Amino acid sequence: MSASKLTDTERKRIEDALATVPFAKLLGIKLEAIEPGDATLSLQIRDDFRQNAGVVHGGVIASLIDSATAFAILPLLNPEERTTTVDLTISYLRPLVAGVIVARAKVVRAGKRIIATSAELFDGDGKLAATALSTYIRLPKKPE
Protein backbone atom coordinates (compact mmCIF):
# COMPACT_ATOMS: atom_id res chain seq x y z
CA MET A 1 0.00 0.00 0.00
CA SER A 2 2.75 2.41 0.92
CA ALA A 3 6.42 2.57 0.08
CA SER A 4 7.26 4.25 3.38
CA LYS A 5 8.85 2.24 6.16
CA LEU A 6 8.04 2.40 9.84
CA THR A 7 10.36 4.20 12.20
CA ASP A 8 11.62 2.34 15.25
CA THR A 9 9.22 4.42 17.38
CA GLU A 10 6.24 3.52 15.18
CA ARG A 11 7.21 -0.16 15.18
CA LYS A 12 7.49 -0.14 18.99
CA ARG A 13 4.06 1.54 19.28
CA ILE A 14 2.53 -1.23 17.15
CA GLU A 15 4.28 -4.01 19.07
CA ASP A 16 3.03 -2.44 22.30
CA ALA A 17 -0.49 -2.24 20.84
CA LEU A 18 -0.52 -5.99 20.19
CA ALA A 19 0.71 -6.65 23.72
CA THR A 20 -2.31 -4.75 25.12
CA VAL A 21 -4.96 -6.83 23.30
CA PRO A 22 -6.05 -9.41 25.90
CA PHE A 23 -7.65 -11.75 23.34
CA ALA A 24 -4.50 -11.78 21.18
CA LYS A 25 -2.47 -12.60 24.31
CA LEU A 26 -4.91 -15.40 25.20
CA LEU A 27 -4.50 -16.96 21.76
CA GLY A 28 -0.74 -16.38 21.64
CA ILE A 29 -0.77 -14.27 18.45
CA LYS A 30 2.70 -13.03 17.45
CA LEU A 31 3.67 -10.16 15.19
CA GLU A 32 6.05 -11.44 12.52
CA ALA A 33 6.28 -8.42 10.18
CA ILE A 34 4.69 -5.00 9.86
CA GLU A 35 4.85 -2.17 7.35
CA PRO A 36 2.27 0.46 6.42
CA GLY A 37 -0.55 -1.47 4.77
CA ASP A 38 0.95 -4.93 5.37
CA ALA A 39 1.10 -7.21 8.40
CA THR A 40 2.05 -10.82 9.08
CA LEU A 41 0.93 -12.49 12.30
CA SER A 42 1.34 -16.08 13.46
CA LEU A 43 -0.18 -18.48 15.92
CA GLN A 44 0.94 -21.85 17.30
CA ILE A 45 -1.92 -24.36 17.13
CA ARG A 46 -2.80 -25.78 20.53
CA ASP A 47 -5.04 -28.69 21.50
CA ASP A 48 -7.63 -26.31 22.96
CA PHE A 49 -8.04 -24.66 19.52
CA ARG A 50 -9.45 -27.86 18.00
CA GLN A 51 -13.13 -28.61 17.57
CA ASN A 52 -14.61 -32.12 18.03
CA ALA A 53 -13.39 -33.40 14.63
CA GLY A 54 -9.79 -32.56 15.61
CA VAL A 55 -9.26 -29.60 13.29
CA VAL A 56 -8.69 -25.99 14.32
CA HIS A 57 -11.94 -24.17 15.07
CA GLY A 58 -12.89 -21.62 12.41
CA GLY A 59 -13.19 -18.95 15.08
CA VAL A 60 -9.48 -19.24 15.88
CA ILE A 61 -8.61 -18.80 12.20
CA ALA A 62 -11.01 -15.85 11.93
CA SER A 63 -9.42 -14.23 14.99
CA LEU A 64 -5.92 -14.49 13.55
CA ILE A 65 -7.06 -13.11 10.19
CA ASP A 66 -9.03 -10.27 11.82
CA SER A 67 -5.99 -9.35 13.91
CA ALA A 68 -3.68 -9.40 10.89
CA THR A 69 -5.95 -7.14 8.84
CA ALA A 70 -6.33 -4.74 11.77
CA PHE A 71 -2.56 -4.52 12.19
CA ALA A 72 -2.06 -3.91 8.46
CA ILE A 73 -4.30 -0.85 8.92
CA LEU A 74 -2.81 0.45 12.17
CA PRO A 75 0.28 2.16 10.68
CA LEU A 76 -1.97 4.06 8.25
CA LEU A 77 -4.14 5.66 10.93
CA ASN A 78 -3.76 9.15 12.29
CA PRO A 79 -3.20 9.32 16.05
CA GLU A 80 -6.79 10.55 16.55
CA GLU A 81 -8.30 7.59 14.67
CA ARG A 82 -9.27 4.02 15.42
CA THR A 83 -11.14 1.39 13.41
CA THR A 84 -13.50 -1.47 13.85
CA THR A 85 -14.39 -4.39 11.62
CA VAL A 86 -17.52 -3.97 9.49
CA ASP A 87 -17.39 -7.38 7.84
CA LEU A 88 -15.13 -10.38 7.43
CA THR A 89 -15.61 -13.04 4.75
CA ILE A 90 -13.41 -16.13 4.97
CA SER A 91 -13.00 -19.04 2.58
CA TYR A 92 -11.64 -22.03 4.49
CA LEU A 93 -9.61 -24.04 1.97
CA ARG A 94 -8.00 -26.84 3.99
CA PRO A 95 -8.25 -28.17 7.54
CA LEU A 96 -5.56 -27.20 10.02
CA VAL A 97 -4.46 -29.62 12.74
CA ALA A 98 -0.95 -28.75 13.98
CA GLY A 99 1.99 -26.40 13.67
CA VAL A 100 2.26 -22.65 13.28
CA ILE A 101 -0.25 -20.86 11.09
CA VAL A 102 0.57 -17.53 9.46
CA ALA A 103 -1.79 -14.79 8.30
CA ARG A 104 -0.54 -12.21 5.80
CA ALA A 105 -2.79 -9.19 5.40
CA LYS A 106 -2.70 -6.12 3.21
CA VAL A 107 -4.73 -2.99 2.77
CA VAL A 108 -6.39 -3.01 -0.64
CA ARG A 109 -7.82 0.51 -0.38
CA ALA A 110 -7.79 3.07 2.41
CA GLY A 111 -10.60 5.55 1.86
CA LYS A 112 -11.66 8.49 4.01
CA ARG A 113 -14.21 6.37 5.88
CA ILE A 114 -13.88 2.73 4.74
CA ILE A 115 -10.74 0.57 4.54
CA ALA A 116 -10.75 -2.63 2.49
CA THR A 117 -8.29 -5.42 3.28
CA SER A 118 -7.41 -8.90 2.11
CA ALA A 119 -5.60 -11.76 3.83
CA GLU A 120 -4.18 -15.18 3.17
CA LEU A 121 -3.60 -17.80 5.85
CA PHE A 122 -0.97 -20.52 5.46
CA ASP A 123 -0.38 -23.79 7.29
CA GLY A 124 2.96 -24.87 8.70
CA ASP A 125 4.06 -26.19 5.30
CA GLY A 126 3.32 -22.88 3.59
CA LYS A 127 0.17 -24.19 1.91
CA LEU A 128 -2.72 -21.78 1.48
CA ALA A 129 -5.38 -22.73 4.04
CA ALA A 130 -7.78 -19.75 3.93
CA THR A 131 -8.40 -16.46 2.18
CA ALA A 132 -10.33 -13.47 3.44
CA LEU A 133 -11.71 -10.06 2.56
CA SER A 134 -12.58 -7.56 5.25
CA THR A 135 -13.86 -4.02 5.58
CA TYR A 136 -13.16 -1.61 8.41
CA ILE A 137 -14.64 1.76 9.28
CA ARG A 138 -12.61 4.68 10.59
CA LEU A 139 -13.81 6.04 13.94
CA PRO A 140 -12.74 8.99 16.04
CA LYS A 141 -10.47 8.09 18.95
CA LYS A 142 -12.47 7.11 21.98
CA PRO A 143 -12.64 9.72 24.74
CA GLU A 144 -10.16 9.31 27.57
Inter-residue contact 102 to 121 (CB < 8 Å): yes
Residue type, 76: L
**23-42 per-residue burial string, b: 16 or more CB within 10 A, e: under 16:** ebeebebebeebbbbbbbbb
Instruction: Give the pLDDT confidence score for residue 144 in this predicted structure.
Output: 62
Q: Which residues contact 30 (CB under 8 A, 6 or more apart)?
A: 41, 42, 43
Per-residue pLDDT band for 2 (boundaries 50, 70, 90) equals very low
How many Å apart are CA 129 and CA 48, to the nearest integer? 19
Pairwise pLDDT comparison (142 vs 129), residue with the higher score: 129
pLDDT digits (tens, 9 = 90+) for 18-74: 889 999 999 999 999 999 999 999 999 999 999 999 999 999 999 999 999 999 999
Q: How many Cβ atoms are within 10 Å of 141's Cβ, its own excluded? A: 11
> What angle, 0 to 180 degrees and rounded to 10, lies between the N-to-C axes of helices 8-19 and 58-73?
150
Per-residue pLDDT band for 1 (boundaries 50, 70, 90) equals very low
pLDDT digits (tens, 9 = 90+) for 64-110: 999 999 999 999 998 789 999 999 999 999 999 999 999 999 999 99
Inter-residue contact 73 to 34 (CB < 8 Å): no
Domains located in the chain, CATH noted: 8-140 (3.10.129.10)
- The pTM score is 0.91
